[in-house]
Amino acid sequence: MKKLMMTMTVLAVAAGLTFGQSKTVADFQRKYQNDRDATMVHLNGGLFKLLASIATFDLGDEDEDAEVVARISNGIKSMDILSIPLFESGLMPEGFEELRQNLLKEKYEELMEVRDGRNNVSFLSQGTDSEVKNMVVLVREDDKAVVMNVNGTLDMRDLAYLARHSQKFN
């Protein structure tokens, strides 16, 4: 069970964390979340508090993995995931690129972009050298777009720890 909780937290972090909803993302979600083919998932902070509690359930052992997972989980206030089909929803690839450009205008920094043909994933965030805040993950496939937004604050040391120890969670 503990490994499952750690894996879920690692996936949430790896997928992208958004802390503090941007106006651009909020407008985009309002525009497309009620599309008949859209999928919207909202996870509130209570779920992440529960994950933190489970991760730190005292079994008498000091467990650095569990402590890191708990700190990350406690830092997440909410997560929103919007998946919407391109074209039939009225969303064109150019509109999704406009979303990315507007985030850059809001002072988001593009941390990483991965392209494979017409598919791409962009990780954008705001924050400092020691904290990750306001991260947005944009995924565009041939016929679908996904926006992931996680509200909260994460310490870079915890994220680095997860990256260094990610093989434990597979």
Ordered strands of the 131-140 beta sheet: 39-44, 76-85, 144-155, 131-140, 119-127, 109-116
pLDDT at 147: 95
**pLDDT for 26 beyond 50:** yes
- Looking at the DSSP bridge assignments, the partners of residue 114 are 121
Pairing of strands 76-85, 39-44: antiparallel
Convert the pLDDT of each residue in 123-163 to its tens digit.
Answer: 888 888 889 887 899 999 989 999 999 888 889 898 888 88
More confident residue, 127 or 1: 127
| Number of residues written out for the chain | 170
More confident residue, 130 or 21: 130
Judged by DSSP in three states, 76 sits in strand
Convert the pLDDT of each residue in 99-128 to its tens digit.
Answer: 999 999 998 999 889 999 888 899 888 888
**Domain that residue 81 falls in:** 2-169
Distance CA 156, CA 142 (A): 33
More confident residue, 98 or 170: 98
pLDDT at 58: 60
Q: What pTM, to 2 d.p., does this model score?
A: 0.76
Tell me how many domains the chain contains: 1
Convert the pLDDT of each residue in 54-90 to its tens digit.
Answer: 887 765 557 888 888 888 889 988 899 999 998 888 8
